[in-house]
Amino acid sequence: MIHRYRRGPTRRATIRYERGGEEFGRVLAFSDGLFAIAMTLLVVGIDVPKLVDQDSVGELWDAFGDLIPNFVSFFISFAVIGRYWVAHHEFIGRLKAMDNGLIGLNLIFLAFVAFLPFPTALLGNYFENPLSVASYALIVAICSLMEVVMFRHAHRRGLMSDDMPEAVFRFGAIASIAPVLFFTISVPLAFWHTGVAVASWYLVVPFEALVLERFRPDGADEFY
């Protein structure tokens, strides 16, 4: 079902798509399809090695060794995109409706998710190049930031199924912004040491587990 409501006397009406309607389902199907394609394209970026002696085990083994950075970047990005899909799935599951503003924000978010295979390929081929690491970190930071923007929009516009207390909303927003901070900080770190920059990405896990959990407000367990 589609509802229209006006945001002000000079603004055009906002279209609202209720859960269970065809339009709501189309947005969800499009999003899931794009995630699947982006994750598939990660492996497409890994070229099969070309051997001089096609029967040589040693030559193929050496070629595998050269591809280790590509394999590492693939699994890192597969985990990153998979994490975004899980978070997006949970976010959509809590919506009772979408409006055209949220759909637009979702498209921006998906654009950067779809772009991730390119910096992933850069990371695999030029791991020691600080610009490749910085580029990857920047795109991931933008993806995480768009999650926060969509979450805020849905909360402010009353699109969530359950009324979320303001303290719980702030806790969720801060938890979502943590990856943005860590990946953004890694950008200048990459120009000092690429390995340290990549290692800093994993600090978000203990940060969320050890720091954020200490400030979990009452009632947050119902939403997170």
The mean pLDDT value for 210-224 works out to: 60
SS3 164: coil
The mean pLDDT value for 23-36 works out to: 90
* Calpha distance 168→36 (Å, rounded): 31
Please state, for a pLDDT cut of 70, what percent of the chain lies above it: 84
Cα 67–chain centre separation: 25
CB 136 within 8 A of CB 122: yes
The mean pLDDT value for 14-26 works out to: 82
Please give the pLDDT value at position 171.
75
Please give the pLDDT value at position 188.
92
Specify the higher pLDDT residue, 217 or 120.
120
Number of domains in the chain: 1
CB 80 within 8 A of CB 145: no
CB 16 within 8 A of CB 99: yes
Q: What is the pLDDT of residues 118-173, one digit of tens each?
A: 888 888 888 889 999 999 999 999 999 999 899 889 888 888 887 766 777 777 77
Please give the pLDDT value at position 12.
52
Q: Give this prediction's pTM.
A: 0.80
Please give the pLDDT value at position 10.
45
Give Cβ neighbours of residue 196 (< 8 Å, ≥ 6 apart).
189
Q: Which two tokens stand for residue 143?
A: 């993806």
Range with the poorest average pLDDT among 3-12, 116-125, 151-160, 192-201: 3-12
Name the pLDDT band for 103 (thresholds 50, 70, 90).
very high
Is the pLDDT reported for residue 223 higher than 60? Answer: no
**What is the residue-wise DSSP string for 93-112?**
HTBSEEEHHHHHHHHHHHHH
Domain housing 180:
2-222
* Calpha distance 121→174 (Å, rounded): 30
Name the pLDDT band for 112 (thresholds 50, 70, 90).
very high
Q: What is the pLDDT of residues 73-91, one digit of tens each?
A: 888 888 888 989 998 988 8
